[in-house]
Structures are given as C-alpha cells and as structure tokens.
Chain A
Amino acid sequence: MKLKHVFVFIGGLFFGFGLAFGGMSKQEIVLSFLQLKDLGLLLLLGGSALVTAITINLIPKLLNNPILGGEFKKRKRTLNKRTVIGAIIFGVGWGMSGLCPGSAMASLGVGNLPVLIGIAGMFLGAYIMGRYFT
C-alpha cells in the first residue's frame, strides 16, 4: 500500500462522509433541488467548490510540490460540442433519477442498495460511450 493511496483513501472518507451528511445519498433530496423545492444542493456544491478553490489556487504558491512529491496537476478541459452534449445527456439522467456518480457511491455506504441498478447503468453508459463514440 503506497502512502499516496492512504491519503486518497482518507480524502475519500471525508468526501463520502460530507456527501452523506449533506443528504446527497438520498435521491429524494437531490430531486427536491431539481424540482426547486430545496435549493440546499447549491450551498453544498458552492461550499465544496469554494474550499477547493482556495486550496488549488493558494497551495501551489506556497509549496513547490505536493507533500508526497510529483507535481500539482492542472485540470485542463477544452470547450467543444461533446462538453455541452454530454452535459445535456447527464442532465436528463440526473433529472430522471437524482443520481450522479459521487452520490451514487455514497448511497452504497448508507445502505441504499437499489442504487446498484443505477451504478450498473453508469458503467454500461460509460462503456457504450468509450466503445462507440470515440
């Protein structure tokens, strides 16, 4: 077990705990946002993006390298048709089910086992995308 995996695992614990604490492992709460009955999801998304923004914009100015070595990776994405069409398809799936990839994983931890059907669907969708649309 590399030290990198230990940190990734502990970070994952915070991530999953936070998702469950914020109710995201309940599709009913995600859907209540998408039905505009409870806007809390925006606070959760905005809060997590804000904390992360402070870290990834500030830490590389203070440290030359990550603590375990390597480099601070830049997340590069170019805007094209696939970005937008993919986001539309994701939005339809999200609005139908209340599922997104991270919250689906956290759902397993709260014993929300019907979500396994959704995760199987996600693997199939990712496979069809990679197999026929690349």
Chain B
Amino acid sequence: MISSFMFPLGFLPYIIGGTLIGIGVSLIYIATGLHATQSSFFDTTISFFSKRPYFLQKQYLDSRGWRLTFALGVILGALIYTITLAAEGFFTTSVEWWRLAIGGFLVGFGTRLSKGCTSGHGISGLASLSSTSAVAVLTFIVVGILTALAIQSLGVLP
C-alpha cells in the first residue's frame, strides 16, 4: 500500500540504477583515484574555447580530457540501455523548451557557484561524508521540491 503510493514504479529500477552508477564511480576511483562527477564538465569544456583565467586554472586544464571522455561514456551507456533493455525504445520529453532553457541556465550557474551538483555533492560528496555537501544536497532538494510544486500549482505540466 505504502509502496505503491510512494513508489508507483516500484523500488527495483531505482535501486539497480543507483547501484550501477555507484559501480561506475567506484571503478574510476579504484583505477585512477579520481572522483567522477558531472558539473565541472561545463567549466573544463569551456576551457577549450575561453581565454578567461578562471577557465584556464590548472585543475581544469588537467581534467578536461578525462571529463570529456567520461561524458561520452555516460551518453553511450544510456544509448546501450535504450537499444538493449528499454521496452519503449527512444524517449522524448514533453517538458516545454522554455523550461529546459531557463532551467538549464540556472542549473549551470547554480552548480558551478555551489561547486557541485546531484553527482558532485549528492553522490561523491555524501560518500565522502562531507557536511558541506550534505547542506548543499538538502538545500537543492528542498528548493527543487518547492519550485516544482509551485510550477505545478500554476497549471504548468508535467
């Protein structure tokens, strides 16, 4: 009863998906000692094109190659799932373009200001038992819920 109310799609897709993500991050850590996180990818990729000193800092220049490789792996991993297991095949969101554009802008700005996203603060940060990341995760989850509920109450769906 509670499970179908709070977890209408069941537990398994989430637990298996989360475990696979953890295995991916673990494999990279054991092999290289690197924390495989996502949002730094924007700054390190901008460093290929920008001459601003912020983007040319050493840690960005040192990590821009493997972060690009990681992003390509993530895209291809999702493609492999889609062509092997996804019952419904390819998927296209019905979220309006303006929500993707404005939301995307705020995600890019906010994650770089906060120095972490759902993977940096959420996975690697919490796994590192970082109180800073715990504060960040709690903050973006609460604000995310309030924002989504507010937008829903204005009749904007999904």
Contacts and interface: CB of A to CB of B under 8 A. Distances in A.
Contact of A19 (B17, B93, B117): B17
User: Chain B's interface: helix, strand, loop or mixed, by majority?
Assistant: helix
Q: Which of A8, A104, A121 gathers most chain B CB within 10 Å?
A: A8
A99 B101 CA distance: 10
B105 A105 contact: no
Interface in A1-20: 4-5, 7-20
A18 B78 CA distance: 8
A63 B29 CA distance: 12
Interface residues of B, number: 119
Interface residues of A, number: 116
Contacts, number: 520
Given A15-B25, A55-B26, A35 B152 contact: yes
A43 B14 contact: yes
Contacts of A75: 35, 120, 124-125, 128, 130
Contacts of A26: 91, 93
Interface string B54-92: 110000000001100111111111111110011000111
Contacts of B133: 77
B6 interface: yes
Contacts of A38: 6-9
Interface in A69-103: 70-75, 77-79, 82-103
Interface of B: 6-11, 13-36, 38-39, 41-43, 45-46, 50, 52, 54-55, 65-66, 69-82, 85-86, 90-95, 97, 99-133, 135-137, 139-152, 158
28 contacts: A8-B73, A14-B23, A20-B82, A21-B16, A21-B85, A22-B16, A44-B15, A45-B122, A48-B19, A53-B128, A66-B32, A67-B30, A71-B33, A83-B115, A86-B110, A86-B112, A87-B139, A87-B143, A93-B108, A96-B102, A96-B103, A103-B118, A105-B74, A105-B78, A107-B78, A120-B101, A124-B108, A130-B112
